Each structure stands twice: as structure tokens, then as C-alpha cells.
């Protein structure tokens, strides 16, 4: 019953499943994007191949590779779905002009964005939806108007505005700082880690630390915000991100015992999907204005120099 002859088009679901699988090079990733199981993707792709009458993927033992046919149609398909998603985006923007969806790293949402939310809402009368996600969303596919992430470059199809440079340096509660005069003193302290930023301490120590450091204790937190709370509570020393801890430093709840010794990470960027509606521009401008003054880094010497993107 498969070569029915009637040129009834394949289902849109199948096309979308194939497009996602082809773009990601695998069912698992495609399934994640579409919020289904890999088996569902596989079924749809198989159906599409049946409709076509020939395979779209070579099933190699270690994964999928597009056939020439598949490779030939993927660009057009992807472009079409991008257009479709763009249409949906403008549709929502037209339908709910006051709604704005922001995606951000959880810690950015908590530490950078949250304090600025009242001001943002006061300035624009917006209904804000905050989406906290560890990975940047696919702006072409998801209904996200803006993103807030650390990154060296803008994702494809987006422009990016640097909101604040990001310098990494140890921070701790004032009571602990008294005992920390030189990096070597960290040997007697508890080092606090964030699980997704495991490299923060190694990077800083590599640049500024004593040769071999064996800290007294270590603790790892799955959320940077919690780690910061622990640091404030005096539990140990955490690597602070200047873009996020500026306010806490200004308030004196945290101090930077080795203030001038920093390493520089990718800056905090505001990601603006291209082709967005005009109502975004003032918001972008406002957020950009917020970036500078309020995220004050504690070292004047670092301020004037504009940040260059690193590979």
C-alpha cells in the first residue's frame, strides 16, 4: 500500500522530523529538539523514506549519514522550516505585542536579570517570560525573543551585543578574606565549585595560583546561585564572575581577596535573533545601558578597555 500513486504529500510531522534529524545528524538530538523520543523520529523518517521510495540516510554502524538525495533536499527544507518558524514568531509578536520571552543561563537569570526585571518592566510595560536553560536555545526554531548567555560569538543567524565583560576571580565572605593574603593561602580554605563551571578554579589557579595547591576541602554546587549563597555564608571561596557578582561586591557581602588577579572569560552577551520585530530594539538598547553601570567590576583598571571576543 505504499506506492499508492496518488501524489498525496508527506505529513508535515514527517518532514519536520527528517529535517531535525538531518540537521542534527542523529535521531537522539532531533528527538530532544522536538520533545519526543528517538523512536518517534525514526518512525517518521522511515515513513518519509517509504513515501519517497528511497532512503534519505545511510545507516552506518556508528550513526546516520545523509544520502545524496537527502543532502540535496535538506537546505530547501531547512529554509522552509526556518521561514515557517519566523512566521510563527511574527505571528505571536503581532498577537501579543506586550509579551517578551527571554532565555538565559539560570545563574544569569538569577543574578543579572532578576535585579533588573523591575526596571525593565517599568520601562516597557512588558509581559516577560523567562526561560532558564543551560544551553542556548535554537533561536530560529523556538519562540525566544532574546537570549542572555556567556559566549565568544553570536550563534548563526543572530546578532549579539556585549552587555558586560566577564572576569573571573576568587570571592568570599569578608570574614574569610582576612586569612587570604596570597593565593597560596587558598591551601587552607574550602574551594567552592559550580558543576557546570568546573574549569573556573583550574583556570584561575593556572594563571595566578601557587604551583601545587591542595585545598583543605572542596564543595560542588549544581547551581551557581547556591554556590554564591554558600560563599556569602562563609562556607568557602568561589570563583566569582564579574558580570554576576558586581552587586554583591558593591554591597560588601562578598569581597575579592585577590582583586587584581583575574582571568577573562567570554563576555555576557545579549543575543538578538535576526529578523526580529522592531519592538525589540528599545529593549535591547535599555539592556545594553544596564550592562555597563550596574555590573560594576571592582577594579577600575579593567573598565576602560573594551573587550575583544576570544576564540
Please give the radius of gyration of the chain, using alpha carbons only, rounded to the nearest integer: 24
Provide the minimum distance between the beta carbon of 64 and DNA in the complex, in angstroms, as a whole number.
Answer: 5
Residue from 6, 18, 19, 43 in contact with DNA (CB under 7 A):
43
Q: Does 221 bind DNA (CB under 7 A)?
A: no
Residue from 20, 22, 56, 64 in contact with DNA (CB under 7 A):
64
End-to-end Cα spacing for the chain: 54
Q: Are the beta carbons of 193 and 227 closer than 8 angstroms? A: yes
Query: Which of the listed partners (DNA, a second copy, none) does 61 bind, with a CB threshold of 5 to 8 Å by partner kind?
Result: DNA
Q: How far is CA 140 from CA 88, 174, 219, in A?
A: 10, 45, 38
Query: Which of the listed partners (DNA, a second copy, none) does 28 bind, with a CB threshold of 5 to 8 Å by partner kind?
Result: DNA
Q: Does 67 bind DNA (CB under 7 A)?
A: no
Provide the minimum distance between the beta carbon of 1 and DNA in the complex, in angstroms, as a whole number.
Answer: 9
Q: CB nearer to a second copy: give 19 or 167.
A: 19
Q: Does 4 bind DNA (CB under 7 A)?
A: no
Q: Does 5 bind a second copy (CB under 8 A)?
A: yes
Q: Does 35 bind DNA (CB under 7 A)?
A: yes
Binding mask 52-71 toward a second copy (x if CB under 8 A, else -) reads xxx--------------x--
Q: Does 15 bind a second copy (CB under 8 A)?
A: yes
Contacts of 80 (CB under 8 A, 6+ apart): none
Q: CB nearer to DNA: give 31 or 256.
A: 31
55-63, 96-104, 252-260, 269-277 -> range binding DNA (CB under 7 A): 55-63
Q: Are the beta carbons of 126 and 100 closer than 8 angstroms? A: yes
Q: Does 86 bind DNA (CB under 7 A)?
A: no
Query: Which of the listed partners (a second copy, DNA, none) does 91 bind, with a CB threshold of 5 to 8 Å by partner kind?
Result: a second copy
Q: Does 42 bind DNA (CB under 7 A)?
A: yes
Spatial strand order in the sheet of 146-150? 127-132, 99-104, 146-150, 263-273, 158-171, 237-241, 190-194, 217-221
Provide the minimum distance between the beta carbon of 263 and DNA in the complex, in angstroms, as a whole number.
Answer: 27
Among 6, 85, 26, CA closest to 18: 26
Q: Does 23 bind DNA (CB under 7 A)?
A: no
Q: Are the beta carbons of 227 and 106 closer than 8 angstroms? A: no
Query: Which of the listed partners (a second copy, DNA, none) does 63 bind, with a CB threshold of 5 to 8 Å by partner kind?
Result: DNA
Provide the minimum distance between the beta carbon of 268 and a second copy in the complex, in angstroms, as a whole number.
Answer: 23
Residues of this chain that bind a second copy (CB under 8 A) = 5, 7-10, 12-13, 15-16, 35, 52-54, 69, 72-73, 76-77, 79-81, 83-88, 90-92, 94-96, 101, 129, 131, 142-144
Which residues contribute to the site for DNA (CB under 7 A)? 11-14, 17, 26-28, 31, 34-40, 42-47, 57, 59, 61-64
Amino acid at each position: 500500500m505504499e506506492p499508492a500513486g496518488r501524489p498525496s504529500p508527506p505529513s508535515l510531522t514527517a518532514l519536520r522530523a527528517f529535517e531535525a534529524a538531518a540537521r542534527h545528524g542523529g535521531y537522539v538530538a532531533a528527538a530532544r529538539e522536538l520533545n519526543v523520543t528517538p523512536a518517534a523520529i525514526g518512525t517518521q523518517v522511515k515513513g518519509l523514506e517509504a513515501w519517497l521510495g528511497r532512503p534519505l540516510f545511510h545507516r552506518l554502524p556508528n550513526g546516520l549519514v545523509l544520502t545524496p538525495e537527502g543532502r540535496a533536499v535538506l537546505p530547501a527544507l531547512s529554509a522552509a522550516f526556518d521561514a515557517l518558524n519566523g512566521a510563527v514568531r511574527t505571528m505571536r509578536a503581532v498577537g501579543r505585542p506586550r509579551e517578551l520571552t527571554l532565555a538565559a543561563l539560570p545563574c544569569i537569570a538569577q543574578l543579572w536579570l532578576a535585579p533588573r526585571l523591575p526596571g525593565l518592566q517599568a520601562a516597557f510595560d512588558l509581559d516577560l517570560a523567562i526561560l532558564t536553560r543551560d544551553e542556548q536555545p535554537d533561536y530560529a526554531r523556538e519562540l525566544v525573543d532574546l537570549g542572555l548567555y556567556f559566549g565568544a560569538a553570536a550563534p548563526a543567524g543572530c546578532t549579539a551585543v556585549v552587555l558586560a565583560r566577564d572576569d573571573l576571580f576568587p570571592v568570599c565572605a569578608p570574614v574569610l578574606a582576612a586569612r587570604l593574603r596570597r593565593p597560596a593561602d587558598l591551601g587552607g580554605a574550602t574551594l567552592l565549585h559550580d558543576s557546570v563551571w568546573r574549569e573556573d578554579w583550574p583556570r584561575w589557579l593556572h594563571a595566578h595560583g601557587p604551583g601545587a595547591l591542595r585545598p583543605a576541602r572542596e564543595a560542588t554546587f549544581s547551581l551557581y546561585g547556591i554556590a554564591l549563597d554558600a560563599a556569602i555564608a562563609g562556607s568557602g571561596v568561589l570563583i566569582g564572575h564579574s558580570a554576576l557578582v558586581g552587586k554583591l561586591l558593591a554591597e560588601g557581602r562578598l569581597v575579592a581577596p585577590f582583586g587584581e588577579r583575574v582571568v577573562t572569560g567570554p563576555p555576557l552577551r545579549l543575543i538578538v535573533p535576526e529578523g526580529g520585530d522592531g519592538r525589540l530594539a528599545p529593549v535591547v538598547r535599555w539592556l545594553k545601558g544596564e550592562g555597563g553601570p550596574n555590573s560594576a567590576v571592582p577594579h577600575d583598571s579593567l573598565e576602560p578597555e573594551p573587550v575583544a571576543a576570544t576564540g
